[in-house]
């Protein structure tokens, strides 16, 4: 579901090129929850952005949800995100002027769903994660953990099969972080492939596997 082979990436060029990822290979099966760990600067965010198609690798191949990303133009990659790949960041990025359910509807509306269809699927998504009672609240009326879970519901709505998250619990207390990891677990148990970059050792209680990045390389297990 997520495969990358010999992915390398440097920032800067020539003499000033700084290698950030060096020959990273991963093969994450459908329905797995993998934690991506490593010290600050080890390349976690860069790898997540490449897998999400937000940046391109200098070398190597990346296949996500059955699509080989390196062959695609940025606009085609963003279409894949809309259809198949949800991305969650440390900041929830909910739009403050929209209610929770309206936020979850957004990617569906972007795909041309009618208002009624989008509402139905968004409510189902919130319900699946136990968030139905928050549907009509605005982001500033719910807790940080709840916002992040609404963000996960938005990332998954419309049958997306892959979720990529970068430090999703970085701004949360331990209790909220647990619930967020539990939410990813639930998604993986439904067949979604989940990769979460995190510093938070709590993730070990929910993830199936951990990949450690050290200076841009996958550390042998
Ligand atoms: N756009 C960029 N231009 C230049 N250098 C960058 C850029 N983005 C990241 N880097 C550098 O690449 C290295 C890896 O950064 P990255 O953000 O992927 O690490 P990380 O493991 O996610 O760190 P953190 O845990 O602090 O988020 C760092 O040395 C960073 O300074």
DSSP type of residue 172:
S
Q: Is there an atom of ligand 1 within 6 Å of 198 CB?
A: no
Ligand 1 centroid – CA 42 distance (Å): 7
Ligand 1 centroid – CA 46 distance (Å): 6
Q: Is there an atom of ligand 1 within 6 Å of 11 CB?
A: yes
pTM here is: 0.92
CA distance 87 to 49: 9
3-class secondary structure, 210 = strand
Residue 38 in tokens = 């490593």
Ligand 1 centroid – CA 165 distance (Å): 15
pLDDT for the residue 65: 86
The full 3-state SS of 99-165, as one line of letters, equals CHHHHHHHHHHHCCCCHHHHHHHHHHHHHHCCCHHHCCCCHHHCCHHHHHHHHHHHHHCCCCCEEEE
> Long-range CB contacts (< 8 A, 24+ apart) of 178-183?
178/202, 178/205, 179/145, 179/149, 180/145, 180/148, 180/149, 180/152, 181/205, 181/206, 181/207, 182/206, 183/129, 183/149, 183/152
CA distance 73 to 168: 27
Q: Identify which of 45, 197, 203 to mutate to test ligand 1's pocket (most ligand atoms within 8 A of the CB).
A: 45
CA distance 72 to 64: 12
Contacts of 116 (CB under 8 A, 6+ apart): none
Ligand 1 atom with least separation from CA of 42? 21
- Tokens 């070990």: give the residue: 204
Per-residue pLDDT of 99-149, as tens digits, reads 999 999 999 998 899 999 999 999 999 998 889 999 999 999 999 889 989
| Maximum CA extent, the chain | 56
Q: Is there an atom of ligand 1 within 6 Å of 176 CB?
A: no
Per-residue pLDDT of 182-213, as tens digits, reads 999 999 999 999 999 999 999 999 999 999 99
Instruction: pLDDT band for 221, please (50, 70, 90 cuts).
Output: low
Atom 25, ligand 1: residue with shortest CA distance:
40
CA distance 196 to 208: 11
Atom 4, ligand 1: residue with shortest CA distance:
11
Q: Is there an atom of ligand 1 within 6 Å of 216 CB?
A: no
Atom 1, ligand 1: residue with shortest CA distance:
11
Q: Is there an atom of ligand 1 within 6 Å of 169 CB?
A: no
């Amino acid at each position: 579901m997520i495969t990358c082979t010999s992915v390398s990436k440097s920032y800067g060029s020539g003499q000033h090129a700084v290698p950030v990822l060096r020959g990273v290979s991963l093969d994450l099966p459908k329905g797995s929850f993998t934690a991506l760990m490593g010290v600050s600067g080890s390349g976690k965010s860069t790898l997540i952005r490449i897998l999400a198609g937000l940046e391109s690798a200098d070398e190597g191949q990346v296949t996500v949800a059955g699509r080989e990303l390196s062959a695609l133009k940025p606009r085609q990659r963003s279409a894949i995100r809309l259809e198949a790949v949800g991305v969650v960041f440390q900041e929830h990025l909910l739009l403050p002027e929209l209610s929770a359910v309206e936020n979850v509807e957004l990617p569906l509306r972007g795909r041309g769903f009618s208002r009624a269809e989008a509402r139905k699927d968004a409510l189902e998504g919130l319900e699946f994660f136990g968030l139905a009672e928050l549907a009509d609240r605005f982001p500033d009326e719910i807790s940080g953990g709840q916002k992040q879970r609404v963000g996960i519901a938005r990332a998954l709505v419309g049958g997306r099969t892959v979720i990529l998250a970068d430090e999703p619990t970085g701004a949360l207390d331990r209790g909220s972080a647990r619930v967020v990891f539990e939410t990813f677990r639930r998604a993986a148990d439904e067949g979604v492939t989940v990769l979460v970059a995190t510093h938070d050792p709590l993730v070990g209680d929910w993830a199936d596997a951990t990949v450690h990045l050290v200076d841009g390389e996958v550390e042998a297990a």
